[in-house]
Amino acid sequence: MNAILTFLKNILSLDNTESEVFDVIDIKHTGAVVIARPDHCVSRQQVNENALKVLYRLRKEGFDSYLVGGCVRDLLLGREPKDFDVVTNAEPEQIARIFSNCRLIGKRFRLAHVCYGRDVIEVATFRKAISDDKTQTPRLNKDGRLLQDNIYGTIEEDVWRRDFTINALYYNIRDFSIIDYVGGMEDHKAGLIRLIGDAGERFREDPVRMLRAVRFAVKLAFRLHHDCEEAIAPNAHLLAGIPPARLYDEISKLFLTGYGVQTFELLRQYGLFSVLFPATDKSLMYEEADFPKMMVIKALENSDQRIADNKPVTLYFLIAALLWEPMLRRAKEKIAKGLPESNAYYDAASETLTQQVRRIAIPRHLTMAIREVWNLQPKFNARVGAKPSRLITHPRFRAAYDFLVLRAQTGDVSLEVAQWWETYQEENENTQRKMTQPQANDKAVNPKRTRTYRKKTKSAAVTISLDTHD
Ligand code: ATP
Ligand code: MG
């Protein structure tokens, strides 16, 4: 018997870094395909060491423990996972008793965070969809959205509440196999994003899954399964009912991961972008010589490039670009109705942001940054005297300058202005002084070219140049 066990242990212990294998008598994964270690490429060498510690410790304490979700999916593709999610049959309080470095979070969805310095391993307890429990009535809102999701279950139950088949693969620390209840491996090989269960129903339960489908399709270069694709259009409007704070989290993941342009195109294709950014979507319909759409695309291209170059990117800059055209359009409408220009631009900025924040909860410090970037734009027209030297010391100068360059790239402002500022920044003080002499820059002294409009109160100053947006 011992010899057989040793033999089995040797077969299963393929990772040369880890020789210990737990007893091979495993729970039966009824209805699942079990992909043994030799038949898949996920190695413990690629798994975060703290996640491994958690998995082993739970196992040692007599619980089942698995990696699940994005980490298994990404490891199968040879990609580095963003995070490692552990799932177990231990309940949160039991997990807290095992790990002294554990804190429990969430009310509706109780989770354990096991902390190793700044590295946090999220440990969830198996859950079941409430609709599976005959003693409980699922709490759905009028659109079919699931309002409660906190009943513990088994792995067989846990799998059905996950979103896509490729996200429902479990890596078993007991024998390093992958357990697949839903055909996730096949879909993985075929590059398919397929919902578990009825696509329409799953989107109605949680409309954010539509955004996740797009995010994974772009990130992994996978296709949406036909059923998944078909179910988006009739349910896209349901995103409007999602709490704005949750949509803000999703937006950050959608646009700041280096595939912004493709994501934008796909969101538009599936009619999701119009729900997220209604004013921007509307402004895209008024294309004039490609200009409005170019601004959005250029901003996304720039962020994608910065991410590829390992440079920092900020969401507020992107949102400032997305909302620039709707803001200008709104201001022009107000001016046409007779509102003084300074008030028109100020009010347009406020209304555009207020309307957007109702859909996506952009934090206040970001909306303030967006306002600053917008407000600084007309100041780039003043290129004589002391104003340029003051402007470059403004804390938001760099972002505002980048925004100016973006506008210049899309024909929204003359390239010459952006070039002047590029040179100005690089020169020494002496040359800078020469550059800002009145005769050095005829255009800059022409008052007609630099008309700016200022609100009476200082804090409410909004100045917008008219020479580029008439
Ligand atoms: P990544 O972390 O790379 O963005 P992920 O798939 O790990 O992708 P998470 O948000 O970390 O995404 O979620 C972990 C897992 O939890 C998912 O893989 C999926 O199984 C499940 N999950 C997450 N969000 C949902 C949801 N809205 N509906 C159903 N299951 C979900
Ligand atoms: Mg994840």
**What pLDDT tens digit does each residue of the chain (470 aa) get?**
454 544 444 434 444 434 344 443 445 677 899 999 999 999 999 999 999 999 999 999 999 999 999 999 999 999 999 999 999 999 999 999 999 999 999 877 889 999 999 999 999 999 987 655 555 566 666 776 665 556 899 999 999 999 999 999 999 999 999 999 999 999 999 999 999 999 999 999 999 999 999 999 999 999 999 999 999 999 999 999 999 999 999 999 999 989 999 999 999 999 999 999 999 999 888 765 555 568 899 999 999 999 999 998 999 999 999 999 999 999 899 999 999 888 888 899 999 999 999 999 999 999 999 999 998 888 887 777 667 778 888 888 999 999 999 999 888 888 888 898 888 888 777 777 776 777 655 554 444 444 443 443 333 333 333 333 22
**Is residue 252 within 6 Å of ligand 1 at its C-beta?**
no
Residue 463 lies in a domain: no
Ligand that lies nearest to the alpha carbon of residue 182, given by its number in the listed order: 1
Verify whether residue 402 is a known catalytic residue: no
Give the domain extent around 292. Answer: 277-440
Residue 461 lies in a domain: no
Closest residue CA from atom 24 of ligand 1? 163
**Run of H or E including 319:** helix 315-336
Residue 451 lies in a domain: no
Residues 287, 257: one domain? Answer: no
Structure tokens at 427: 């020169």
Residues 6+ apart with CB under 8 A from 228: 193, 194, 195, 199, 213
Please tell me the pTM assigned to this model.
Answer: 0.83
User: What's the CATH number where 412 sits?
Assistant: 1.10.3090.10
**Is residue 70 within 6 Å of ligand 1 at its C-beta?**
yes
Q: Measure CA of the first residue to CA of the last residue in the chain; give whole Å.
A: 87
Structure tokens at 262: 């493709």
**Is residue 208 within 6 Å of ligand 1 at its C-beta?**
yes
Nearest to 36 by CA among 59, 11, 4: 11
pLDDT at position 139 is 62
Residues 430, 302: one domain? Answer: yes
Nearest to 373 by CA among 395, 405, 391, 400: 400
Ligand 1: which atom is nearest the Cα of residue 74?
3
pLDDT at position 78 is 94
Which one of 64, 85, 175, 402 is the catalytic residue?
A: 85
How distant is the alpha carbon of residue 470 from its chain centre?
A: 35
**Is residue 156 within 6 Å of ligand 1 at its C-beta?**
no
Burial class (CB in 10 A: 0-12, 13-18, 19+), 78: exposed
The position carrying tokens 């729970």 is: 27
Residues 14, 95: one domain? Answer: yes
Residues 6+ apart with CB under 8 A from 333: none
Closest residue CA from atom 16 of ligand 1? 69
**Is residue 92 within 6 Å of ligand 1 at its C-beta?**
no
Residue 150 lies in a domain: yes
Q: Cα–Cα distance between 432 and 78 in angstroms, integer?
A: 51
Residues 251, 297: one domain? Answer: no
Residues 410, 263: one domain? Answer: no
